[in-house]
Amino acid sequence: MKEAKKGVCRKCGTFFYVHKHHILPKSRFGRKGKTMKLCPNCHTHFHEYSKKHTTKPSDKDEALDIWQVWFKKVSVVVTLLAIAIFATKMFF
């Protein structure tokens, strides 16, 4: 993974180190697709969310649907709460 740079997370709006998240999984669709800057918390939550809602998207439309539901409908509070629960499980 490339070094993260400071920027604004497009999901929660925090100014922090952000990662470029590939909207379409690069493992299935390559590296040339659209990206969006996400803070580490939101980036991690999206991957956890997508694992729970699909095994591997079978096509680009399914991958975009998962992204759009998470980005537009899952609230920032839910995202941050999920990260807190995930972190607690890692350390305890």
Closest CA to 68 of 48, 86, 91, 50: 50
Average pLDDT of the segment spanning 81-88? 64
pTM of the model: 0.70
Q: Which residues contact 32 (CB under 8 A, 6 or more apart)?
A: none
Tell me if residue 76 falls in helix, strand or coil: helix
What pLDDT, in 10s, does the model give residues 31-61? 888 889 998 888 888 888 888 877 676 778 8
Which residue ranges make up each domain of the chain?
A: 5-91
What pLDDT, in 10s, does the model give residues 53-71? 776 767 788 888 888 888 8
Angle between helices 40-53 and 60-73 (to 10 degrees): 130
Structure token pair of residue 21: 């998240």
